[in-house]
Structure 1
Amino acid sequence: MKKYLIKFFCLTVVLTLIFSVADAQKTQKKRAATKRGNTTTKKTTKGKTKANIKSGGQVDSVAAIVAVPVEPKIDSLPITKVKKSLRQDEAVETKDIMDRTPLDYEHLRADDAVYRHKIWREIDTREKVNLPFRYSADENNGNQRFISILLKAIQDSAVTVFDPIDDRFTTPLTISQVAKGLGGGGDSVPHYDKNGLVDRIDYKSREINLDSIYKFRIKEEVIFDKESSRLFWRILGIAPVRNVYSTTGEYQGVSEVFWVYYPDMRPIFAKYQTYNGKNFGARMSWEELFETRMFSGRIIKSTMDNPFDLPIAATPGLKDNGVFQLLAGEKIKEKIFTYEQDLWSY
């Protein structure tokens, strides 16, 4: 009987130990699950914190974009708007003059052109003979400055304007690019709040003074035609020139603003009359002025004896001497004149 009681007691103790170990393992699993849940919550919290930081970074980038102003597109040139007269402002009829069209050029065959050279000239309108270029009166067809005539033709899309990167008319320009080339465009001006901090940046357009453009360059070709035994001068292009200054106001030289193809401008020039201070009844059109060569310009470059295609101002020995540059241009004129005269026998 005692043996059975001892076996029962031992079995009871073993079962109690087994159940106690099982309860301890369950408790450890619950604690581990609870720790994992807390870890997951922390990671989620960190993720939310990171998301908030990322959102803040996006707000900063948007603010930075707003702080930089976008340059507005310029779609107009600085042309003075002139009102037309509601009555006839002249005692003579000039309607037919405004409707003139230029005559077509005489055809020149390449086989008949026994002598050809390209010449570049610079016209300074401050010279007395060139003062018609600066005539600034207003008439029914607009302001009469020569630069205003060019800009109005560009504004009205009556002519294609070309980039001054070269003088071969290869790259067309837009009106906005022409305005920038004239010295327009604009400046970024910071605006400060009451605390002295920059809250925005405004964009203000710069004013353009057309009277500051008083030089023009002409590209032309001189041709001797053996069929008609005549020397022809054919203008190919015209470019206004502006002075270039540094940020400190130091003069750095001149720069071409744009090029226009002269044959495209001939119909427009025929409708504008030049200034004649001696006899206002004997005014000629701008097309006639150029064709009769009633202007003065110094030669700044030519294809004559110029294998490196350099302007006279960049020729070695002439860079720093303006008098020698002027004499070099006059020498080119003399060579062309002598060539034509030597073809004749008296």
Structure 2
Amino acid sequence: MKKLVLAATVFFSLQASAQQENLNNSVDPVQAVDTLPPVDGYVVKSDFENRKVVPYANIRQTDIAFSKRVWREMDLRVKMNQAFASPKSSLINILLEAIQEGKLRAYDPTPTKDDPNGDSFKTLLAPDQVMARFGGDSILVEEFNENNEVIGSSYQQRDFDATQVVKFRIKEDWIFDKQRSVFEARIVGIAPLITPQIPGASDIIMPVDGTGTDAGSSAPVDPFDPFAVPAENNTETTTNATPPADVALPPVGGNSFIPQIDATPAFWVYFPEARHVLVNKEVMNRHNDATGLSYDDIFIKRMFASYIVKQSNPEDLRIKDYISDDMERLFESERIKKSLMDYEQDLWSY
């Protein structure tokens, strides 16, 4: 009996000591010499700091019966994706902080001859180069006297504004593993998209033949898009290229247009490397603060909204390269997504 009472006493004392680390239920008065801040709440979320990445199941090349590479874009202005832009835990701030601390490597998205898409993770970017792509990390501040005269100037650190990043591009592979009989998507890389700030770009007028294309080619021309396919490589004609009769042409006439500058990747991160950073970062939830979901969980469980902008094809064309109408592009995106789902469905149809 004494042993039972002793065991119960030890159990409850251990339980109380374990709760003491997480619960702020102290009834002792505040000590003046105590410099530690109080616990913000009654539960300390320490599990995120100790989480480890759950590795993928190993796949052999001989077991891959089907594979398709897909590029998609995730708009943070969509309601389902607004958690990615939360000021408490925004995705872009997490990536930039990890890059500056050396926990994550950033790769140059500039297309080259050996890497036409710029997303093969071949060229590393230094942290200062990454910040320079967002407009620089310092500004020149001038000092004035009482007569409003400039008496000096100095460079001051400028905080990055995360609200200027509203889209992310995701590169992923859809793989059917016949050994496990599983059809799954595995993300390869993630890139924040930014719109290049080209002074005077809105005032540039480019001559065209009245249909939005170059006079000697059937392919759309976008001089500020580094991912544009050259005219000689685009063998398919653009659908819906002629604007409807009720759509007004640019005021400068039928032989010119104002180029639109598309958002391009600021840098690429390799997702298997980023998982070790994202697994320790909590995602803010609108309805419940105790979900315990990390950014790694969100991407692995596919808890985000996106639309496909490109699939692997022999001509290396994006959807916008052969479809000009925005609504038709969304329909094509849904068609590609449905074709992937149909492949899995047809595997189990008899």
The Cα offsets for residues 82-140 of structure 1, whole Å up to 9 and x where unpaired, read as xxx83321312321232101111100111111000111110000000001101112xxx
2 CA distance for matches of 1:222 and 1:277?
Answer: 30
Structure 1 residue 325 corresponds to structure 2 residue 329: yes
**Within 5 A, what are the aligned runs for 1:102-251?**
102-137=53-88, 144-165=89-110, 166-184=118-136, 208-248=160-200, 250=202
2 CA distance for matches of 1:216 and 1:336?
Answer: 22
Name the SS for the 1:293 alignment partner: coil
Quote the RMSD (CA, aligned, Å).
2.7
Shift of 1:262: 0.4
Aligned partner of 2:304 in structure 1 is: 295
- Cα distance, 1:100–1:188 mapped onto 2, change above 3 Å: closer
Task: Check whether the contact 1:184–1:205 (CA below 8 A) recurs between aligned residues.
Answer: no
1 CA distance for matches of 2:155 and 2:275?
Answer: 38
Aligned partner of 1:101 in structure 2 is: 52
The one-letter amino acid paired with 2:106 is V
Shift of 1:185: 6.0
Please give the TM-score of this superposition, normalised by the length of structure 2: 0.65
- Cα distance, 1:343–1:183 mapped onto 2, change above 3 Å: same
- Cα distance, 1:190–1:89 mapped onto 2, change above 3 Å: closer
Task: Check whether the contact 2:137–2:160 (CA below 8 A) recurs between aligned residues.
Answer: no
Name the SS for the 1:118 alignment partner: strand
Q: Please identify the structure whose Cα radius of gyration is greater.
A: 1
The one-letter amino acid paired with 1:245 is Q
1 CA distance for matches of 2:74 and 2:186?
Answer: 16
Name the SS for the 1:252 alignment partner: coil
Shift of 1:205: 7.5
Count residues with an aligned counterpart.
246
Shift of 1:336: 0.6
Task: Check whether the contact 2:72–2:308 (CA below 8 A) recurs between aligned residues.
Answer: yes
- Structure 1 vs Structure 2: percent identity of aligned residues? 35
2 CA distance for matches of 1:202 and 1:279?
Answer: 45
Name the SS for the 2:282 alignment partner: coil
Candidates 261, 265, 268, aligned match of 1:252: 261
The Cα offsets for residues 273-314 of structure 1, whole Å up to 9 and x where unpaired, read as 1111111111311100000000011101111xx21112111x
The one-letter amino acid paired with 1:154 is I
The one-letter amino acid paired with 1:115 is F
Task: Check whether the contact 2:281–2:295 (CA below 8 A) recurs between aligned residues.
Answer: yes
Task: Check whether the contact 2:190–2:269 (CA below 8 A) recurs between aligned residues.
Answer: yes
Q: Which runs of 5+ in 2 are unaligned?
A: 1-35, 111-117, 144-151, 203-259
Q: Which runs of 5+ in 1 are unaligned?
A: 1-84, 138-143, 192-199
2 CA distance for matches of 1:218 and 1:90?
Answer: 36
- Cα distance, 1:189–1:133 mapped onto 2, change above 3 Å: closer
Aligned partner of 1:61 in structure 2 is: none
Task: Check whether the contact 1:184–1:207 (CA below 8 A) recurs between aligned residues.
Answer: no
Structure 1 residue 91 corresponds to structure 2 residue 42: yes
Q: Per chain length, whose mean CA-contact separation is higher, i.e. which structure has more relative contact order (CA < 8 Å, sep 6+)?
A: 2
2 CA distance for matches of 1:185 and 1:277?
Answer: 32
Task: Check whether the contact 1:242–1:254 (CA below 8 A) recurs between aligned residues.
Answer: yes
Shift of 1:186: 6.7
Task: Check whether the contact 1:275–1:283 (CA below 8 A) recurs between aligned residues.
Answer: no
Shift of 1:244: 2.4
2 CA distance for matches of 1:265 and 1:298?
Answer: 22
- Cα distance, 1:204–1:268 mapped onto 2, change above 3 Å: closer
